[in-house]
Amino acid sequence: MKFLNKIKTTFQLLADSIKDGLSKARSNGLYKKMAIILLGFIGIFFAVFVFIKLTTYLFESIYNFINLHFFGVAATALGGVYLRLKWSDRRDQRIKEEQERKLSNDRIKMKFSEGSYDKIRKFLFTQILNEANFESLTGLYRPVNPAELGNAQTGNYLKNGLIFHQFRIPKVCLEDVNVSLVTSVLQSMIEQKIGVYGIPGIISPTHMNRNDVLMVSDISDMKTHVILTTVLSFNGEYADQKAYDRSIADSLNISTVERTLDDYDYHG
């Protein structure tokens, strides 16, 4: 009898403990949280189930379509591969032809540049460096003979379809020259002389101070001499780009001067 009472008491304590735990869970909102988690699991399971069913249906549809129209699908695939290969071959052929055409043009220009170098060197020697005020304006002087300016074997090259010539002009003294001033003076003299005389075999007289063919590209100060680099271009694009660059540079210089004056006025 005592044993049965002890079991009864134990079950009663267990029931009271469960009832107390459920009461605490209800008060803490645990039911709601468990319900949300359960619904989340159900939603995920349903989404996965639907995805698997749709994927299975899609693959079955594709399989059935291919099975019913096998020869048509195979012919379409082979046709696509053939067209792709054909297009690739034509593209490669166009690239090859373009490279060959460019190489041929470069060879022609290189051959032309060898002759144009001597003509431009003579033009510089007789028309530019021989000017009475050339030395005083630039700090450079004319050498004894044209050969000292350079030669076509080492002084010309091609870049981006343009012909570049380089000439060595001696300096009066070892002091640094004003590269911007020398560039401006040389370009101005070149335009004036081409406008009147042209360059025989290369440029006809333009009769105006506008020259799109022979441009000063760069002047490098080498202490005892300068390296003058000219560009020979017959489409005018290089001249337009140089004019644009000079315009931008002039605008920046003007802005710098104005900014300096404003600061001086403000602080002064």
pLDDT in tens, 99-130: 666 666 666 666 767 788 999 999 999 999 99
Shortest CA distance to 113 belongs to which of 147, 161, 148? 161
pTM of the model: 0.54
Shortest CA distance to 201 belongs to which of 123, 92, 124? 123
E strand map for the chain: 156-159, 162-170, 214-221, 225-232
- What's the whole-number mean pLDDT along residues 10-34? 59
**Among 41-45, 132-136, 154-158, 223-227, which is the least confidently predicted range?**
41-45
Strand partners, 156: 165
Specify the higher pLDDT residue, 49 or 117. Answer: 117
Sequence spans of domains, the chain: 2-60, 113-267
- What's the whole-number mean pLDDT along residues 210-227? 88
Sheet holding 225-232, edge to edge: 156-159, 162-170, 225-232, 214-221
pLDDT in tens, 60-88: 777 777 777 777 767 777 777 777 877 77
pLDDT in tens, 159-195: 887 889 999 999 999 999 999 999 999 999 998 998 8
**Cα separation of 120 and 213, whole Å?**
12
